[in-house]
Structure 1
């Protein structure tokens, strides 16, 4: 079975491509078996492959999920934020956006304001210079855009169902300089307590499930954050 597998972040750099053509003789082929085959074929990338997740048709797939030749397949390294395959993406309702252009907090807030809501919040995540003793000069973000938009929409649906709140999310891709916004989450709700809860839920869920990766650029070099499987904070999604 001939497959095309999308790769991202440090995994794409190690293997040397963001779109890997791979022939698998196994039938049926499961997501877990695909990872085993890839790790054997690319031993230098095996540590990263082993802790990555397989996405099939833009959904995370358990190891026993059967892969067909028609499936859209991606190997998802642990998310933490190369060159993106697409330069931007936006949901049909305009509430969820991935873009290489600067983000606007005012624009995002305007998307969620509601005459029946008495509270609104904007969360803005920005590039900080110092992390402990390490100095960052910029961050570079990459995303699996179609799947990322789908996951952002899921977050918005959760927020609506759990808190009767409106949510809009924008995330930068590409190069993001110091003090520039990398993510903006706007939430409105009938009351402030639920608004705070919904906003906190949205950013934590985004960090855990949305396939966005970031590369730290500093004075001594570059590194994908979360790309070292030996690091204590290196975890699958």
Structure 2
């Protein structure tokens, strides 16, 4: 009996292999994540290096090398991650406005994200706003393009919020991240945090952006006048299953 293993690709991987998804026809119904990567490397030896530093995702969760994955799972291979108006709205839009973790192709307003964490029990709130800068290490950027594995990105953002709540009891977090083209000086990410006291708020805000860069599957492509590069996919080692130090 044969099993069809379908593996989604993103960012630099999708570009290098010129496909959004790979399919392997194998006799095995299950194997470890490490074995799956080795099978992919055997099928695509010219890309073995990038495959080796990528991570398998199983049903929107990172799978360590020893984890068992199955052909029936939703599988993806992830390269290292990068790092309002006053109008009447329909019910769907209103629900999204209250959702603390969002991936969107629309412009982000920092005030909207902050509103989600303001609480009468909290005396401190912080908003981190990430924007597109023009110059990086002497290289002039024309624009950025972001790509996300959206359901997993939202799930891992929610994980960050849960971790913050455990480390700093009572703290609240909301994150909105752009996808698609983000021009110079435009907002790519907004992280809002509130807490009873300012010390916890500062610490939780720093934790949120560092953790986002570590585990959330969102990739950044820098576009220059004379070329482009996916930021993140060439880096390593990378292990999103390891927590940040206390």
Is TM > 0.5 for Structure 1 vs Structure 2? yes
Question: How far apart in 1 are the matches of 2:140 and 2:19?
Answer: 29
Which position in structure 1 is the counterpart of 2:187? 181
TM-score by length of 2: 0.87
Question: How far apart in 2 are the matches of 1:157 and 1:114?
Answer: 17
Within 5 Å, which residues of 2 pair with 1:23-42?
A: 23-26=25-28, 28-42=30-44
Within 5 Å, which residues of 2 pair with 1:219-234?
A: 219-228=225-234, 234=236
Establish whether residue 125 from structure 1 lines up as the match of residue 127 from structure 2.
no
Q: 1:92: Cα distance to partner?
A: 10
When residues 125 and 198 of structure 1 are mapped into structure 2, their CA distance, relative to the original with a 3 A threshold, is same
Establish whether residue 110 from structure 1 lines up as the match of residue 115 from structure 2.
yes
RMSD after superposition: 1.6
Question: How far apart in 1 are the matches of 2:82 and 2:220?
Answer: 6
Which position in structure 1 is the counterpart of 2:176? 170
Establish whether residue 198 from structure 1 lines up as the match of residue 204 from structure 2.
yes
Q: Deviation per CA, 1:133-160, whole angstroms, max 9, x where unpaired?
A: 1111111111111111100001111112
Which position in structure 2 is the counterpart of 1:14? 16
Establish whether residue 218 from structure 1 lines up as the match of residue 216 from structure 2.
no
TM-score by length of 1: 0.90
Ranges of 4+ aligned residues in structure 1 off by more than 6 Å = none
Which position in structure 2 is the counterpart of 1:87? none
Q: Is the contact between residue 120 and residue 189 of structure 1 (CA under 8 Å) also seen in structure 2?
A: yes
Q: 1:91: Cα distance to partner?
A: 7.5
When residues 156 and 28 of structure 1 are mapped into structure 2, their CA distance, relative to the original with a 3 A threshold, is closer
| Residue-pair matches, total | 225
When residues 108 and 93 of structure 1 are mapped into structure 2, their CA distance, relative to the original with a 3 A threshold, is closer
Q: Deviation per CA, 1:180-230, whole angstroms, max 9, x where unpaired?
A: 1111000111111110001001000000011111100001111111333xx
Establish whether residue 78 from structure 1 lines up as the match of residue 84 from structure 2.
no
Secondary structure, counterpart of 1:152 in structure 2: helix
Q: Is the contact between residue 121 and residue 186 of structure 1 (CA under 8 Å) also seen in structure 2?
A: yes
